[in-house]
Amino acid sequence: MSREISAKSLLAKAENAMARYDFHTAIALFRAALCKNPSSRAAKSGLLIADFCARSEGEGYKVAEIYQILRASDSKKSKQFILNVIAEIEAQNFANSPLDRLVAEQNGISYNDFLEILEAGRGFSDAFESVTRSTNLYISEKREWVDLVERLIDNGYLDAAYRFIESASLSWRSSEQVAALIAKLRGKEIRAESFITFQSV
């Protein structure tokens, strides 16, 4: 008959995995220990540290190295210290995101910079609202303007799309491409109105 592994044993195995910088194994073992003992602070803090190390390539290894040095002297205090370090790193990384740096350093950002922010994983709604709330979005070419209006329509910013169309120069507005955007915008509005009518019946 096989003997069930205790939470304490799982924690020890998790710490050994951390010492080998095998963060994914450590995560699995800390989770298993937490399932055995949901109130285990050691399992909870260990899981947070292992998770950070696994998703932060350069900083993760440095944090894990410091953790091992501190753990040799005081296991409990080392976890809290490392958690504080992680909190500071994550707060700094958020403040230094591409969008926040651009907003802080300039009176506005170019459309190419805006596209880079989107490609880096920031959602359209989050990026667009942050930019328009804090600074200016500079559009220098018609293709950029068309792309932005189409993205606004696709993401449900119908009023904003109308404003961009109304404020554009006549030379930009007078084309089949823009006529197609206006038709798409009106189609979205009709569907939205139909849905509201259906909901109110």
Q: Answer yes or no: is 188 within a domain.
A: yes
Q: Answer yes or no: is 1 within a domain.
A: no
Residue owning tokens 């018609």 = 142
In this structure, are 125 and 170 located in the same domain? yes
Q: What is the pTM of this model?
A: 0.46
In this structure, are 102 and 193 located in the same domain? yes
- The partner residues of 136 in beta bridges, in order of sequence, read 108
Angle at alpha carbon of residue 147, lines to 145 and 151, rounded to 5°:
115
- The pLDDT tens digits for 147-197 are 999 999 999 888 888 888 887 766 666 678 778 888 888 887 765 554 333
Q: Answer yes or no: is 39 within a domain.
A: yes
Listed residues 95, 116, 144: the one ending a domain: 95
pLDDT of residue 108: 65
Q: Answer yes or no: is 2 within a domain.
A: no
Instruction: Name which residue leads in pLDDT, 111 or 2.
Output: 111
In this structure, are 62 and 109 located in the same domain? no
- The pLDDT tens digits for 55-88 are 886 788 888 888 888 887 766 677 888 888 777 7
- The pLDDT tens digits for 13-51 are 999 999 999 999 999 999 999 888 888 888 888 988 998
- Count of CB atoms situated within 10 Å of the CB of 197: 9
In this structure, are 82 and 118 located in the same domain? no
Listed residues 95, 111, 136: the one ending a domain: 95
In this structure, are 88 and 15 located in the same domain? yes
pLDDT of residue 105: 47
Listed residues 95, 123, 157: the one ending a domain: 95
- Residues contacting 65, CB < 8 A, separation 6+: none
In this structure, are 196 and 102 located in the same domain? yes
The CA dihedral of 191, 128, 172, 181, to the nearest 10 degrees, is -20
* Count of structural domains, the chain: 2
pLDDT of residue 172: 66
Q: Answer yes or no: is 194 within a domain.
A: yes
Q: Answer yes or no: is 146 within a domain.
A: yes
Q: Which domain holds residue 123?
A: 98-200
pLDDT of residue 10: 93
Q: Answer yes or no: is 34 within a domain.
A: yes
In this structure, are 102 and 91 located in the same domain? no
Residue 165: exposure state from Cβ atoms within 10 A (0-12, 13-18, ≥19): middle
pLDDT of residue 19: 92
